[in-house]
Chain A
Amino acid sequence: MNKNVLLVFFIFIISALIPYIIMIITERKDNV
């Protein structure tokens, strides 16, 4: 399979998780 497909899929998944990760980090900071 074309390696670009895997690369795009990887970047896509990471970017979709970014808002969630930022939420967790900022909430943790608020609670400290």
Chain B
Amino acid sequence: MYKILIYLIYFSFYSILILILGKGGLKQTETIEDFFIGGKSMKLFPSIFTFTATWFSIASMVGFTGSVYVSGYEVVLMSVVGWFLGAGLLVLIVDSIRDYDLITIPEFFYKRYNSKGLQIFGGITTVFCYIMYMIIQITGFGVVISKLLEINYSMAIFMIYIFIIYTTYGGFFSVVKTDTLNIIITIIGVLISAFFIINKFDSILDINIFASEIINNDNKAFLDFEIPLPMIISTSFAWGLGLAVNPQYLIRISSTDSSITAKKMISYSVLILAVLYFLLALVGVGGRVLSPELYNNIHVDEVYSFLINNTIYTKLSGFILIGITAAAISSINSQLLIISSGLMIDVVKNIYTKPIHQELVLNISRFFIILAATVSLLLSFTPPSSLLIYGSIIWSIFSITFFLPIYLGSFWKKANKTGVIASIISGLTVMMYFLFKSGFFDSSYSMHPVVPSFISALLFFYIFTIIGDKYENKT
């Protein structure tokens, strides 16, 4: 009871801070460009804060740490390394994205390929994937908070529902302001958890020496790689491609005040994130040494909350709790904004072509925020089995549908609409075939399904671009 009281004090403190910061955004928002991308005026520091906060979600803090606890450092290769390589691709595409002057990423399909149909498809894909991805975040939050505050899971997810609507309702400015607070709290939370884990050992090296001695149930050493190398590389590849075309990151390139700000935002954020993941990997491995009994007894996504609530519990654990909350909210609010922009700009404005008054556009966008949050909340009552695996499949859909059209469209002059349509259809068909064959969200693939899907999409893109080119030249 005493623990819960402490947690509630922290939680109330956090809620008040969010309430104060969240309301500022409404005043600054005048145009649709302000609402979705902050009027393309973001300076370096706010950009780094919001980029890092959006990236570092509950799947990172809770999902990643729990996965390292279970599988060791190979998780780093399977996820984080892929994400960082994907961020490298983001830097490469900065100039092109800024040249097209985008408010949403599917707008690229219209501005580059002159196809409203593709833009609508991109908008619908974005809405679908982000609703699915928000479920991961909401579920993760629900699992952790219901355990720590000893409240009902439904009540926990309803709490985050209120937070995300409040922080997103004011648009991009409001998201950036709350993201700044959220990432600072998240960083403090990660630092505290890493400090108390490392503090239980003589040195960081000691953590790894003890961990090397742990033997899993199947008689293999904990730190040995169990997952086949093709699976490690292909999963990393799936994450990397997904990150490189993920609208929540790409759109932040549009929101900065210049190309160099965007490039610095990405590369400096990755350095901050590297420190956070390094510390969380130590928490995962150190936690495994300190509390090995969890291995067979609790779910991967419950490991982190168990560690902070028992293994390394102090009065400061409340900071870690609000760190998790902050990580979840700062990612969900950006995703919610992307869903709203996809529905409003890519779908509604293309279907209903008559001019709509700016104020009405803003109000409909706000309505879409509430609608998308409500749908995600309702779908979160049946949680997925693992945050990280589920996430990688959803990101694969982005890899297959967005990567080739955006990157080849930026660097290959010949790329055309025929190639894009053929590549999307073939990529998704191969992906569906593999998923139905082996079951959805199954972790037992020998290779991630994104690899054959991507190869097929690439081949079709090339062949049909050439065919489309000849056809267009004739007509």
Contacts and interface: CB of A to CB of B under 8 A. Distances in A.
The size class of the interface chain B forms with chain A is 35 or more
Nearest to A3: B223
B85 to A, nearest CB: 6
Given A1-B209, A2-B212, A26 B270 contact: no
B263 A5 contact: no
B84 A1 contact: no
A32 interface: no
Contacts of B73: 4-5, 8
Nearest to A12: B76
B132 to A, nearest CB: 27
Interface stretch (B86-94, B118-126, B339-347): B86-94
Contacts of B278: 12
A8 B84 contact: no
A1 B95 CA distance: 44
A13 B92 CA distance: 20
Interface centre among A5, A13, A16, A26 (most CB of B within 10 A): A16
A21 B81 CA distance: 15
A20 B271 contact: yes
A19 B208 contact: no
Nearest to A22: B91
Contacts of B277: 12
Given A4-B225, A22-B88, A12 B271 contact: no
The size class of the interface chain A forms with chain B is 10 to 19
B267 interface: yes
Interface string A17-28: 011111100110
Interface string B200-216: 00000100110110000
A19 B270 contact: yes
B274 interface: yes
B4 interface: no
A19 B223 contact: no
A3 to B, nearest CB: 9
Nearest to A6: B208
A23 B221 CA distance: 39
Contacts of B162: none
A20 B77 contact: no
Contacts of A12: 76, 80-81, 274, 277-278
Interface centre among A1, A13, A15 (most CB of B within 10 A): A15
A20 B270 contact: yes
B264 interface: yes
A26 B221 contact: no
Contacts of B223: 2, 4-5
A24 to B, nearest CB: 9
Contacts of A13: 274
B275 to A, nearest CB: 9
A12 B85 CA distance: 10
A26 B91 contact: yes
Interface of B: 72-74, 76-77, 80-81, 84-85, 87-88, 90-92, 95, 205, 208-209, 211-212, 221, 223-225, 260, 263-264, 266-268, 270-271, 273-274, 277-278
Interface of A: 1-2, 4-5, 8, 11-13, 15-16, 18-23, 26-27
18 contacts: A1-B205, A2-B208, A2-B211, A4-B73, A5-B212, A8-B77, A13-B274, A15-B80, A16-B274, A18-B87, A18-B88, A20-B268, A22-B91, A22-B92, A23-B91, A23-B263, A23-B266, A26-B92
